Amino acid sequence: MRHAELYEFLPSGRIRCLACARRCQIGSGQVGLCGIRQNVDGRLELLVYGRLITGHVDPIEKKPVTHYRPGSRIFSVATSGCSWLCQYCQNFDISQRRRAEGEVLSNERVVEMALQLGCQGIAYTYNEPTIYIEYSRDIGRLAHSKGLFNIFVSNGYATPETVTEMAKFLDCLTVDFKGSGKKSFVQRYIGIPDPAPIFETLLEAKRRTSIHLELTDLVVPEVGDDLAECEKLSKWVYDNLGPETPIHFLRFHPDYRMLNLPSTPVETLERHYEIAKKAGLKYVYIGNVPGHEYEDTYCAGCGYRLIDRDSYDIVSWNLTADNRCPKCGEKVPIRGGLEPGHKELRFVPVF
Ligand code: SF4
């Protein structure tokens, strides 16, 4: 446990937490909705500081991130708790534990483990990392000093204050939309009143930082697969983040409290892909459908298949040394080249 930093005092005597867009007003002794930030004697404490509930080694493509350091080996970590209440969460066992649990690990030990495991970066993932921003920032700064990079896999439901902290250590931010961010969907299945803060976080990150941005959109059949919303989201991304922003449409699998729905039909994902391409987005992907042709990267200039993937594996890499298409010379916005050790990458649980 450690004193949190992102909060302010209210005239009512409560504390307003500023780590995520819920901005919980927390009375003495109370805990915010995430379950890990508590008002203790008039100070906000981050209960999970120094505690990780899980750690795995996996490829960066599993996040999914395809335009930042491809083929990297990542130390993926998480704390307990979350700012959202997703009814389909695949990680509900850790995200919906509204209390501080896990291995006690110093920041130095986390970074040391990442290095010993042969990783190039650390991903803060599985639960929402902005809720423990002070902890991830301190690990992340140390990681930077040892040559590692940092990734957030985030719901984007953050604040301008959190984005300021992100800018101090984050290299890559992948923001996960669900149901294309449709208001009625996020209210019903996520438990937030409005998706607007997600868009604001992306705008803040784009305007004020140099963090690499990628997006995902979980397409939930029957309740979160509205094509008009997909078009709206794609146009917003084109207008505000630019046509080169990668977006991944992910297949839903039934889990947690939404076991009644089937997996997303592949045709539905393909419709989303086509809509995003029609809106002008250059790097559109389908995820969670191993072997699908839209897992691959195609040249936006001539359509040549530049990177052939099979699930998280990079099967062939056909870019020039300076990340251009070898056929037409189009520059491909990928930060870094292919990591040499990518062929040996497999998912490895660490704790
Ligand atoms: S981080 Fe937790 S305590 Fe803070 S506003 Fe979000 S849900 Fe509330």
**Closest-lying ligand 1 atom to the alpha carbon of residue 31:** 3
- pLDDT of 345: 67
Q: 342 pLDDT band (50/70/90 cuts)?
A: confident
Q: 175 pLDDT band (50/70/90 cuts)?
A: very high
Q: For residues 137 and 159, give the distance between their C-alpha atoms in angstroms, rounded to a whole number.
A: 15
Q: 26 pLDDT band (50/70/90 cuts)?
A: very high
Residue nearest to atom 6 of ligand 1 (CA): 20
In the chain, which ranges are continuous DSSP H helix? Answer: 92-95, 107-116, 133-145, 160-166, 183-189, 196-208, 227-240, 266-278
Average pLDDT over every residue of 178-196: 97
Q: For residues 196 and 187, give the distance between their C-alpha atoms in angstroms, rounded to a whole number.
A: 12
Check if the beta carbon of residue 39 is closer than 8 Å to that of residue 30. Answer: yes
* Percentage of residues in the chain having pLDDT higher than 70: 99
Q: Which of 123, 155, 159 is nearest to 139 (CA)?
A: 123
CATH assignment of 51-349, among 3.30.2130.10, 3.20.20.70, 1.10.357.10, 3.10.450.50: 3.20.20.70
Task: Give the tens place of pLDDT for each residue, 195-240.
Answer: 999 999 999 999 999 999 999 999 999 999 999 999 999 999 999 9
CA of 37 relative to ligand 1 center, distance in Å: 7
Average pLDDT over every residue of 1-27: 97
CA of 17 relative to ligand 1 center, distance in Å: 6
Q: For residues 38 and 27, give the distance between their C-alpha atoms in angstroms, rounded to a whole number.
A: 9
**Closest-lying ligand 1 atom to the alpha carbon of residue 23:** 5
Please tell me the pTM assigned to this model.
Answer: 0.96
Q: For residues 155 and 186, give the distance between their C-alpha atoms in angstroms, rounded to a whole number.
A: 11
The Cα-based distances of 31 to 38, 64, 131, 148, 321 in angstroms read: 4, 32, 12, 33, 51
Task: Decide: residue 339, CB within 10 A, 0-12 exposed, 13-18 middle, 19+ buried.
Answer: middle
Q: For residues 199 and 300, give the distance between their C-alpha atoms in angstroms, rounded to a whole number.
A: 25
Domain boundaries defined on the chain: 2-46, 51-349
Task: Decide: residue 14, CB within 10 A, 0-12 exposed, 13-18 middle, 19+ buried.
Answer: middle
Task: Decide: residue 92, CB within 10 A, 0-12 exposed, 13-18 middle, 19+ buried.
Answer: middle
Considering only CA atoms, give the Rg of the chain.
20
The Cα-based distances of 5 to 2, 132, 135, 145 in angstroms read: 9, 10, 10, 22
Task: Give the tens place of pLDDT for each residue, 100-155.
Answer: 999 999 999 999 999 999 999 999 999 999 999 999 999 999 999 999 999 999 99
Cβ of 35 below 6 Å from ligand 1 = no
pLDDT averaged over every residue in the chain: 96
Cβ of 20 below 6 Å from ligand 1 = yes
The Cα-based distances of 68 to 58, 129, 225 in angstroms read: 15, 19, 28
